[in-house]
Structure 1
Amino acid sequence: MSTALVLFRRDLRLSDHPALHAACTAHDRILPVYVHDSAADGDWAPGAASRWWLHHSLRALDQALSCQGGRLHVATGDPLTCIRQLCIASGARAVYWSRRYEPAAIAHDSALKAALRADGIEVHSHPGNLWQEPWMLTTDSGQPYRVFTPFWRRLSAQLPPPRPLPEARPRQWGIADGSVPIEALKLLPVIRWDAGLAAQWTPGEAGAQELLEIFADDAVNDYAKLRDLPARHGTSRLSPHLHFGEITPRQIHAHLRERAEGADLTPYLRELGWREFAYHLLYHFPYTPHANFNPRFDAFPWAKDDPALLERWQRGRTGIPLVDAGMRELWQTGWMHNRVRMVVASFLTKNLRQHWLHGARWFWDTLVDADLANNTLGWQWVAGCGADAAPYFRVFNPYLQSAKFDPDAAYLKRWLPELAALPAKTLHEAWKNPSALAACGYPAPMVDMAASREAALAAWEALPAA
């Protein structure tokens, strides 16, 4: 009887899983394995919110396997050592996995594949979490894309993609001795601050499918209109499920085409296209998680690091209502509306002139959808130093943004309960009403928005020409 190992990483699902499907087709017995090893992530090991999600996602995967008579074999330590031992114990002569695209993970998987093949073990890597592999789309001159619009034009011309694969069901699930409990990985916080996350999210493949159903029924038809309103659930909120591979872009696309017939899916699919663009950039420009895509910004005069200032931003105590509402939403739920993400990032990098890496690191630790490709693209885009970045002179005004996208201040009042009794107009014009906000125990603004904007623009204009 032929046995294969399927190594699960950020593909924690059973359906539309090319690697698992291929293994089930070629072998009689499948041993599903998760090896916990943060070394493959380099210095971007999962943050606290991501570890919380991973714990619950692994439990969900194990439960799904148990419904088919299997179980997830969990190991911890060096993946090569663990896989070698499991191959000997199970008699497996083949290992399957889904590809990863982060620089450290690519190097790790390449070394793992070479070592296993030197042992005489077959290794099969498969795509699975993107519409297209990052190297498959190039410009007419064969170069990687640096601008989103032509990238999206070429990618969207190739949609719709093939139909999603059905749930994999091997002839027999394998079981090996030595699996450790998921709890032994110690992914959950010792001090249980995660109640807000648990109230908002259901990690796992079933939770992803439920959110997709809700989005298809309630929001996709009005996505272009609702997606910028932070008080509404106008977005799919599927980003953490996508990051952990509990659902695929192919599944989302196919389901929406079927359930939302007649709806204009382009605005939403375009957002998934930005995710693909982020992975395209990370693959072709692997230095960008730590360095500016645009080297002109290497000379930018960032303000001196100020831990006290940074902490006020992190805790939502800046005195700017929309910024503080977003940062408190993040702290409590592990997520933040995308419109607000742009506002809080602009405030940090332009009004406070703190380096974008400070923000990227904080998001990395606190977001349940922390994803190296998307996090890097987003922060460099707002800071003005990335590929296809927002012009540096685009500085988001939090007061105008809240008045436009949260006119009745429902979002502000939800996350800033000390200000809930104040009129919306007072909150949108907080700089005119400092005493009213101070009477509620709310802090004064950290900076003058107009003056800090002018200082940022002056710093940018002083940069050497490209």
Structure 2
Amino acid sequence: MKNRVIVWFRRDLRLADNPALRAAIDGDFDSIVPVFIQAPDELGAWAPGGAQRVWQHFSLDALSTQLENLGSRLIIRHGPTQQALDTLIEESGATAVYWNRLYDPLTIERDKAIKTHLEQRGIETASFKAALLHEPWTVKTGQGGPYKVFTPFWKAVKDRGSEAPLPMPDRLPEVWSRIGSEAVADLDLLPSIPWDTDIRATWAPGEDGAHERLETFLESAIDKYADDRDRPAIAGTSYLSPHLHWGEIGPRQIMHRLAEWLDDQDSQAVHDHATTFRSELGWREFAHHVLYHFPDTPDAPLDKRFEQFPWSQDDEALELWQRGQTGIPMVDAGMRELWATGYMHNRLRMTVASFLTKNLRVAWQHGERWFWDTLVDADLANNTLGWQWAAGCGADAAPFFRIFNPARQGERFDASGDYVRHWVPEIATLGNKHIHRPWEAPAAVLDKAGVELGRTYPRPLVDLKESRREALSAFDEIKR
């Protein structure tokens, strides 16, 4: 009797350094059946948003091609997941199901139920670490609890090291021809109205695209990373976040390749820039640590005082923020970049989040939801931690009195105005002095630039100083 194993792909859409796949290859199996099961209902409110679905389509397409090139093929099914696995077990005669672990609350709950069900059927199950360097339950404070502050968390794990990445398989066994599959297109992930043109033009989803992105970063950006990562007009960051989210590349692959590359670098400055980059991977680890230990944080503030915060119910202001029509150029540029490309530079993520939660005093959950639907790298752990950080109510949160002035952010990190001019062309002819504060420009300057506030470009939604004062007053209320 043939011994077959199902490898259940989720957000680990790669073949190299895939522990579940490697365990199947190294096990006593005659056949390996790779499967992806589409079951968004099982993720509740946190099913992939529109931009994520676009990425997922092309990433699955790339994985399918890779598998075919190695002699296998990707089996695609619709959920419910337990039912789909049961059916595939019957069709294939599989005696085992392997997968890589994920750490979102609903996924953990679902996976535990499936594991129990399969084992009751006599099916072997095994799950593996693939998405993180350090699983959340393996890192504890001196008192045995979870960390809530990044710096001691990173200090505790940054020198631990990690296992060497697993190799890419040379060949995979053929999948029994009797096992049917849907096509990637049958998952209906792409929008019916093609709003995703710029996303397609900007990104290359898939394992190959992830490694190309990493090599580009090493060759052209990491040697200035600590300085350039805050300047949105230049390609100073790695742009690896969506590839990491979908598991097209794993964190230990990045760490290993980075260490390998640094072996050939003599400059201490380059090593220092790399240390800063490693800490950003550490922030991702910290985000998953916090989400695992505090699973209510996607909806509820970690700092319970903020349950009483007097948020504004201003739907019009929220919509203008979403559309990039606030009259604050740095905010509008970030929101338009997000809508066009499915991505926003991290400096802008902090800026627009501070503006929404503190200047407009709109609850952070509204921003979190918008990012979830529009970011290609929308990750529940990162998104939750980032928004609670910006709002001042989460782990390692910025103090509430730290309110980003978006005009000053622009003057500091986009001094030449290149970023704003690209995304807010209505004011592109303004000089550097006024590009980030058009409301302060004299009438003659506005006339010469062809800018009419309130007609060609909005007046500011709020006065930055006054709205800051009101936010601090509101915070004083909940402190008492």
| Interval of TM-score (by shorter of Structure 1 and Structure 2) | over 0.9
C-alpha displacement at 1:177, in angstroms?
2.5
Q: Does 1:445 align with 2:460?
A: yes
Q: Are 2:72 and 2:172, in contact at CA under 8 Å, matched by a contact in 1?
A: no
Aligned with 1:418 (options 426, 446, 460): 426
Kept in 2, the 8 Å contact 1:221–1:260? The answer is no
Q: Is the 8 A contact 2:328 2:406 kept in 1?
A: yes
Whether the 8 Å CA contact 1:34–1:73 is kept in 2: the answer is yes
Q: Select between 353-362 and 415-424 the one with higher mean Cα deviation.
A: 415-424
Match 2:334 to one of 321, 326, 329: 326
Q: CA RMSD in A?
A: 1.2
Q: How far has the Cα of 1:171 moved from its partner?
A: 5.1
- 1:3 and 2:17 aligned: no
Q: Which letter maps to 2:320? A: R
Corresponding residue number in structure 2 for 1:273: 282
Query: Which residue matches 2:415?
Result: 407
User: Deviation string for 1:380-428 (max 9, x for gaps)?
Assistant: 0000000110000000011111111011000000101121111121112
- Give the structure 1 partner of residue 226 of structure 2: 224
User: % of aligned pairs identical?
Assistant: 52
Taking structure 2 as the reference length, what is the TM-score of the superposition? Answer: 0.95
Residue of structure 2 in register with 1:125 after alignment? 127
Equivalence map 1:176-187=2 (5 Å): 176-187=178-189
Out of 185, 188, 199, the position equivalent to 2:190 is 188
The 2-side partners of 1:364 and 1:78 are apart by 23
Following superposition, the deviation at residue 221 of structure 1 comes to 1.1
Match of 1:355 among 363, 381, 388: 363
SS across alignment from 2:395: coil
State the match for 2:383 in structure 1: 375
Q: Quick check: 2:199–2:342 contact (8 Å CA) kept in 1?
A: yes
Q: Which moved more, 1:269-278 or 1:33-42?
A: 33-42
SS of the counterpart of 1:424?
coil
- Counterpart in 2 of 1:458? 473
| Structure 1: gaps of 5 or more residues | none
1:158 aligns with 2:166: no
Residue 463 of structure 1 and its aligned partner are, at CA, apart by: 1.2
Deviation at 1:169, TM superposition (A): 4.3
Shift of 1:28: 2.6
Find the residue that maps to 2:231 and give its secondary structure: coil
Residue 18 of structure 1 is matched in structure 2 by 19
In terms of mean alpha carbon deviation, does 257-266 or 233-242 score higher?
257-266
Specify the alignment match of 1:335 in structure 2.
343
Structure 1 range deviating more: 438-447 or 53-62: 438-447
Instruction: Assess, with a 3 A threshold, how the Cα gap between structure 1 residues 145 and 434 changes in structure 2: closer, same or farther.
Output: farther
For 2:153 and 2:164, locate their aligned partners in 1 and report how far apart those are by CA, in whole Å: 23
Q: Which amino acid aligns with 2:299?
A: H
Which amino acid is the alignment partner of residue 133 of structure 2?
Answer: W
Closer, same or farther: CA 284–392 of 1 in aligned 2, 3 Å:
same
Q: Which amino acid aligns with 1:4?
A: V
- 3-state DSSP of counterpart to 1:157: coil
Pairwise mapping of residues 33-432 of structure 1 onto structure 2 (< 5 A)?
Answer: 33-159=35-161, 161-169=162-170, 172-175=173-176, 176-261=178-263, 262=265, 263-264=270-271, 265-303=274-312, 305-432=313-440
- 8 A Cα contact 1:102 1:283, kept in partner: yes
Secondary structure at 1:93 match in 2: strand
Answer yes or no: is the 8 Å Cα contact 1:345–1:382 preserved in 2.
yes
How far off is 1:140 after superposition?
Answer: 1.3
Per the TM alignment, residue 434 of structure 1 is displaced from its structure 2 partner at its CA by 7.2
Residues 92, 179 of structure 2: 8 Å contact kept? no
Q: Give, as a single letter, the amino acid of the residue that structure 2 aligns with 1:273.
A: G
* Matches of 2:171 and 2:140, distance apart in 1: 37
AA at the equivalent of 2:247: G
String of CA shifts for 1:167-191, please: whole Å, max 9, x gaps: 1345513245221111111100000
User: 1:205 & 1:170 partners in 2: Cα distance?
Assistant: 17
TM-aligned CA deviation for residue 29 of structure 1: 1.3
1:81 positional shift:
1.2
Q: Give the drift of 1:258.
A: 1.5
Distance 1:205 1:419 in 2: 39
Using the TM superposition, name which of 374-383 and 256-265 deviates more: 256-265
> How far, CA to CA, are the matches of 1:41 and 1:220 in structure 2?
36
Shift of 1:259: 2.0
- 2-side partners of 1:434 and 1:60: how far apart? 54
Q: Which 10-residue stretch deviates more, 262-271 or 113-122? A: 262-271
Worse-superposed segment, 216-225 or 426-435: 426-435
Letter of the aligned partner of 2:409 in structure 1?
Answer: Q
Shift in Å at residue 370 of structure 1? Answer: 0.3
Using the TM superposition, give the Cα deviation of residue 69 of structure 1 relative to its aligned residue in structure 2, in angstroms.
Answer: 1.3
Indicate conservation of the 8 Å contact 2:342/2:374, yes or no. yes
TM-score, normalised relative to structure 1: 0.97
The more displaced of 258-267 and 78-87 is: 258-267
Report if aligned partners of 1:434, 1:444 keep a CA contact under 8 Å in 2: no
What SS does the aligned partner of 2:127 have? strand
